[in-house]
């Protein structure tokens, strides 16, 4: 029996309407998947309490309006709480989790080892005794986050656009103090559960890939292939945002937005299906696209 094809995916978080940069990344994820015979999946990353169902519906409608198609219905992370809980329990039984009572300020102000990257967890709660954990719990008055007890400081992934990339792997959060699965856990578990073996997303997330690949290996899952694509920036050279003017599909209009996206990638076709016929990942722009509304 022929094994089912792998899959690519786009996974928006419905906290705001998609802007032209998000839409461009979605088109690229679709092009990468379809050009390699993969399924293309849509996943709504709605674990955060700042997300909204009505925004998710608008996002899906915008993506469909561009001409993107996906295999099966869009999935939502909030439909799978037991999936994440089972993995957390499994890691805990293996002795790979520890309670952490640190705030972001605690981590920022804590001394860290030489050459440790900015923001890396300094290991404050890693080796607390039971008595020290009880004292921390009493002192803070809040439930702890759960962090992964890693056995390496770095991990290397291969990216189709960036080549081999080695990044830091600290004792990152697996479950937040409020009980919500952390992004780095949820994305790995969801990708593995749905057969995603190709991850295409903005290059601002390249630094998170080593942590996620390390966790995938730890859980016994294949590490997906990565392609971190350049972001879309505003005229000032910073990340695009709603304050930069007409940046959403409703403001730009579908034909114009598709044309702008295609032009930014060097394509002449006025449709995403036409772009697929022209698609060559080796010829993609390597630098950011500076977007100027109008």
Binding residue per annotation — 9?
yes
Binding residue per annotation — 278?
no
- Asked if 234 and 210 touch (Cβ cutoff 8 Å), the reply is no
Binding residue per annotation — 293?
no
Binding residue per annotation — 137?
no
Calpha distance 219→238 (Å, rounded): 36
Binding residue per annotation — 192?
no
- Phi, psi of 112, deg, nearest 5: -135, 165
Binding residue per annotation — 201?
yes
Binding residue per annotation — 251?
no
Distances (CA, A) of 264 to 229, 231, 260, 292: 13, 11, 6, 12
What is the CB neighbour count within 10 angstroms for residue 36?
15
Binding residue per annotation — 15?
no
Binding residue per annotation — 12?
yes
Query: Closest by alpha carbon to 40, among 65, 75, 16, 14?
Result: 75
Binding residue per annotation — 134?
no
DSSP-derived pairing of the beta strands 145-148 and 97-100: antiparallel
Binding residue per annotation — 102?
yes
Binding residue per annotation — 98?
no
Binding residue per annotation — 10?
yes
- Which letter, b or e, does each residue of 195-227 get, where b requires 16 or more Cβ atoms within 10 Å of its Cβ? bbbbbbbbbeebebbbbbbbbbeeeebebbbbb
List the binding residues for Zn(2+).
Answer: 100, 102, 121, 125
List the binding residues.
Answer: 9-13, 45, 100, 102, 121, 125, 183, 201, 242
List the binding residues for L-glutamate.
Answer: 9-13, 45, 183, 201
List the binding residues for ATP.
Answer: 242
């Amino acid at each position: 029996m022929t094994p089912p094809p792998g899959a690519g995916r786009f996974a928006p978080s419905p906290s705001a309407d998609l802007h032209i940069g998000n839409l461009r990344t979605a088109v690229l994820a679709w092009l990468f998947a379809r050009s390699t015979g993969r399924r293309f999946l849509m996943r709504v990353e709605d674990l955060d309490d700042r997300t909204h169902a009505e925004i998710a519906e608008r996002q899906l409608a915008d993506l469909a309006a561009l001409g993107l198609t996906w295999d099966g219905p869009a999935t939502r992370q909030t439909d799978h709480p037991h999936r994440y809980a089972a993995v957390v329990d499994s890691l805990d039984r293996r002795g790979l989790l520890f309670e952490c009572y640190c705030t972001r300020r605690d981590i920022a102000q804590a001394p860290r080892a030489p050459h440790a990257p900015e923001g890396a967890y300094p290991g404050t709660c890693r080796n607390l005794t039971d008595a020290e954990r009880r004292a921390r719990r009493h002192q803070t008055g809040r439930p702890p986050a759960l962090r992964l007890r890693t056995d390496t400081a770095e991990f290397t992934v291969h990216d189709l656009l960036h080549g081999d990339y080695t990044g830091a792997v600290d004792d990152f959060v697996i479950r937040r103090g409020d009980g919500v699965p952390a992004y780095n856990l949820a994305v790995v578990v969801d990708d593995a559960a749905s057969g995603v073996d190709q991850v295409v997303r903005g290059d601002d997330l390249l630094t998170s890939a080593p942590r996620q690949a390390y966790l995938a290996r730890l859980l016994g899952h294949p590490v997906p292939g990565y392609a971190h694509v350049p972001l879309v920036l505003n005229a000032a050279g910073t990340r695009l945002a709603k304050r930069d003017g007409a940046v959403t599909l409703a403001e730009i209009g579908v034909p114009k937005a598709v044309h702008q996206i295609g032009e930014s990638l060097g394509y002449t076709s006025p449709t995403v299906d036409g772009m697929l016929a022209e698609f060559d990942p080796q010829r993609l722009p390597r630098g950011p696209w500076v977007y100027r509304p109008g």
